[in-house]
């Protein structure tokens, strides 16, 4: 196998999975890049989009709707510790550098741009950085390390999450075949946080408003999703993300009610109330 063949093997594997029967995570070569802020803009009332570019964005790869990058930030003493390239992977220093994970909302290889959407439901290291970011500001970006490839063969798809999952769900709705069918459930504060979605005609999109409740509280999302009547005999894929505690009923529903195999579901805690830099390693 030539070097070129090896370099593009992940693209071949992704095509194989997409044409298959079950979802699978496929890894990509991973790098750390020095990117520059190109512009920022609000997306609805709850998301701040930071568009990154510059020479460091050249060669960036983005192939799956829920793939993520790590934004690397200086330590409290002002030092910046970066991983080192080790072939197609990164060697990370210990202890791990200060970083936060975010979904790649959009990648335009022609323009050399990468969009990252930041949820503004509270203060935090990354969201505070995004609020203050101005064109020309520099940030180091590691990844994506890969992404979940979901075949087009499922009869229906269930997508669910809070505003932190909205970028991934919006991208997946854009990239699904226009013949796909299913449901999308999105919990936001109110109608001002709703955004325009490019969903296939066979999708039902449900916006759930939490009102004055703090983000990550209540059971509106779980109640709406678990009330679904999935047609008997149809193959379903479930993707959900958001506050970790709110997702527990969805895991039980997918396992006990739908009786899905692990390969037919992906339910991930993106954050947890009161925990900084939460890592869902279930």
Q: pLDDT of 114-142, one tens digit each?
A: 999 999 877 789 999 999 999 999 999 99
- What is the domain count for the chain? 2
One domain, residues 140 and 216: no
Q: Classify residue 206: in a domain, yes or no.
A: yes
Q: Are 249 and 280 in contact, with CB atoms under 8 Å apart?
A: no
Q: Given this model, what pLDDT does residue 8 score?
A: 80
One domain, residues 99 and 170: no
Q: Taking 70 as the threshold, does the pLDDT of residue 277 lie above it?
A: no
Q: Taking 70 as the threshold, does the pLDDT of residue 80 lie above it?
A: yes
Q: Classify residue 279: in a domain, yes or no.
A: no
Of 112, 130, 144, 111, the C-alpha closest to 27 is 144
Residue 56 sits in a domain whose CATH number is 2.40.30.10
One domain, residues 192 and 135: no
Of 26, 98, 38, 95, the C-alpha closest to 64 is 26
One domain, residues 68 and 121: yes
Q: Given this model, what pLDDT does residue 2 score?
A: 42
> CA-to-CA distance for 167 and 210, rounded, in angstroms?
18
Strands 202-209 and 181-188: parallel
Q: Classify residue 278: in a domain, yes or no.
A: no
Single residue among 119, 147, 175 that ends a domain in this structure: 147
Q: Classify residue 227: in a domain, yes or no.
A: yes
Which residues fall within 8 angstroms of residue 40, CB to CB, at 6 or more apart? 48, 49, 50, 51, 130, 133, 134
Beta-bridge mates of residue 47: 43, 119
Single residue among 130, 147, 164 that ends a domain in this structure: 147
Q: Classify residue 2: in a domain, yes or no.
A: no
One domain, residues 44 and 82: yes
One domain, residues 137 and 208: no
- How does pLDDT run across 44-66, given as a tens digit for each residue? 999 999 999 999 999 999 999 99
- How does pLDDT run across 204-226, given as a tens digit for each residue? 999 999 998 998 999 999 999 99
Owning domain of residue 106: 8-147
CA angle at 241 for the pair 282 and 65, rounded to the nearest 5°: 110
Q: Given this model, what pLDDT does residue 274 score?
A: 77
- How does pLDDT run across 142-156, given as a tens digit for each residue? 999 999 999 999 999
One domain, residues 134 and 18: yes
Q: Given this model, what pLDDT does residue 39 score?
A: 98
Single residue among 147, 182, 203 that ends a domain in this structure: 147
Q: Given this model, what pLDDT does residue 280 score?
A: 66
Q: Classify residue 3: in a domain, yes or no.
A: no
One domain, residues 120 and 159: no
> CA-to-CA distance for 118 and 103, rounded, in angstroms?
9
Residue 182 sits in a domain whose CATH number is 3.40.50.80
Give the model's confidence band at 276: pLDDT under 50 very low, under 70 low, under 90 confident, else very high: confident
One domain, residues 233 and 143: no
One domain, residues 139 and 236: no
pTM for the full predicted model: 0.93
Q: Given this model, what pLDDT does residue 123 score?
A: 76
One domain, residues 47 and 108: yes
One domain, residues 131 and 224: no
Q: Cα Rg for the chain, rounded, in angstroms? A: 19
Of 122, 104, 124, 87, the C-alpha closest to 35 is 104
Q: Classify residue 100: in a domain, yes or no.
A: yes
Q: Classify residue 14: in a domain, yes or no.
A: yes
- How does pLDDT run across 166-194, given as a tens digit for each residue? 999 999 999 999 999 999 999 999 999 99
Give the model's confidence band at 75: pLDDT under 50 very low, under 70 low, under 90 confident, else very high: very high
Give the model's confidence band at 3: pLDDT under 50 very low, under 70 low, under 90 confident, else very high: very low
């Amino acid at each position: 196998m030539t070097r070129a063949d090896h370099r593009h093997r992940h693209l071949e594997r992704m095509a194989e999975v997409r044409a298959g029967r079950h979802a699978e995570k496929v890894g990509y070569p991973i790098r750390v890049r020095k990117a520059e802020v190109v512009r920022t803009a609000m997306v609805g009332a709850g998301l701040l989009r930071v568009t990154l570019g510059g020479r460091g964005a050249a060669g960036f790869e983005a192939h799956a709707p829920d793939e993520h990058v790590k934004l690397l930030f200086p330590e409290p003493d002002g030092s910046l510790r970066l991983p080192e390239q080790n072939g197609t992977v990164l060697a990370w220093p210990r202890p791990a550098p200060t970083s936060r994970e975010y979904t790649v909302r959009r990648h335009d290889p022609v323009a050399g741009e990468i969009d990252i959407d930041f949820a503004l439901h509270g203060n935090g290291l990354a969201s505070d950085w995004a609020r203050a970011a101005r064109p020309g500001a520099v940030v180091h970006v590691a990844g994506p390390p890969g992404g979940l490839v979901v075949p087009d063969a499922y009869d229906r798809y269930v997508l669910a999450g809070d505003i932190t999952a909205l970028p991934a769900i919006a991208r997946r709705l854009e990239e699904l075949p226009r013949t796909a069918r299913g449901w999308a459930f999105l919990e936001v504060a109110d109608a001002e946080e709703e955004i325009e979605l490019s969903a296939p005609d066979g999708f039902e999109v449900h916006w759930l408003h939490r009102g004055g409740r703090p983000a990550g509280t209540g059971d509106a999302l779980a109640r709406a999703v678990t009330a679904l009547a999935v047609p008997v005999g149809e193959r379903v894929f479930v993707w959900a993300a958001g506050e970790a505690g709110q997702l527990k009923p969805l895991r039980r529903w997918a396992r006990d009610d739908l009786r899905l195999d692990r390969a037919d579901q992906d339910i991930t805690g993106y954050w947890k109330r009161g925990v900084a830099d939460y890592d869902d390693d279930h």
